[in-house]
Structure 1
């Protein structure tokens, strides 16, 4: 079984590619889609790969004029405690990533932004999931009132100072701004850790210099 969301398509042409021979859905829930694939290894042998298929998510870094970030406190059941987090959420089917970022920022913090900057994408769980997280910087913030989901409980958003290592580095990178109607892309390769780091540092320096 091959398709646009199949791991074997994403590595096509790579000498380390593992090709899918057969796919089984082990569990399909409201969020989690657990799959088990039989794959062909580069040496011709076969193996089994179990992983979670994920629709992707966005995370927003909302920056105030003085450089502080808008963050929130939310209880996370799997770990049994609350965490200080940036606004984030799952991408709905067919939803543009910028539209998702705008929606999550408004829903969770009650804030809208006039200036959006796409920083890149990260893959946080590459050993067991195909999840990707698209990262945006949001500036020009104004409060409009939250619109949280019924099952979502958050403490009122708070402002926190940027970490010093973001504001004390001289690395710079070109910015890629986006409009409400654009599909956002980034030319950096996702496996390049310096790409996201440079964009985030550059955006942080720009925000704190205003």
Structure 2
């Protein structure tokens, strides 16, 4: 048995969307009582820490409606059904930034909001970058500005909340540690 497991008694999907589904589960708690859990089902995503030969991080600035503002992030995207995370990472890197990578290495996979969502992000390190012939090919509803920033600039962006999401903060801190070990 899993420690503190909550067993589902019933599950009702109340919304099915393009990006997420929402369900409400009734669960039995470890103490025998019951409770309801509102849960978001998400197919998962990738994020790419793309580092140029001169140790700059490729980032994108885009508007995030949920926050009602623009933030600076590492390139990222949703997994397509049946697509391997590595494939998604290479595709998203090229689509959002116009770069391809010689090598792609999984840094870590992690949950984004385990209290209510099952989304897992797979963070990859992309190195050996070169400009793709096609350049960036954004989705029709995607508007981004490409940035190349140093670790120090990224840390300042974290301090002034221009970098505001966990996946990007994690990527920046990982890059800082990795680059300090290499120097």
TM-score (norm 1): 0.72
Correspondence for 2:39: 51
Q: Which one of the candidate residues 90, 101, 106 is aligned to 1:113?
A: 101
1:18-40 C-alpha deviation (Å, 9 max, x unpaired): 11111001111111211100111
Distance in 2 separating the partners of 1:197 and 1:152: 23
Greater strand fraction, Structure 1 or Structure 2: 2
Correspondence for 2:62: 74
Structure 2 residue matching 1:78: 3-state secondary structure: coil
Distance in 1 separating the partners of 2:172 and 2:56: 19
Q: Is the 8 A contact 1:119 1:200 kept in 2?
A: no
Q: Structure 2: which 5+ runs fail to align?
A: 156-170
Q: CA deviation at 1:83?
A: 0.9
1:135-157 C-alpha deviation (Å, 9 max, x unpaired): 001000000111211111112x1
1:92-119 C-alpha deviation (Å, 9 max, x unpaired): 1110000000000000000000011110
Q: Which one of the candidate residues 121, 125, 136 is aligned to 1:146?
A: 136
Q: Is the 8 A contact 1:33 1:54 kept in 2?
A: yes
Pair 1:62–1:30, CA change in 2 (3 A): same
Correspondence for 1:192: none
Distance in 2 separating the partners of 1:19 and 1:142: 49
Q: Is the 8 A contact 1:137 1:203 kept in 2?
A: no
Residue 162 in 1 paired to residue 151 in 2? Answer: yes
Q: Structure 1: which 5+ runs fail to align?
A: 1-12, 167-195
Aligned residues: 166
Q: CA deviation at 1:120?
A: 0.7
Distance in 1 separating the partners of 2:105 and 2:87: 13
Q: CA deviation at 1:78?
A: 1.8
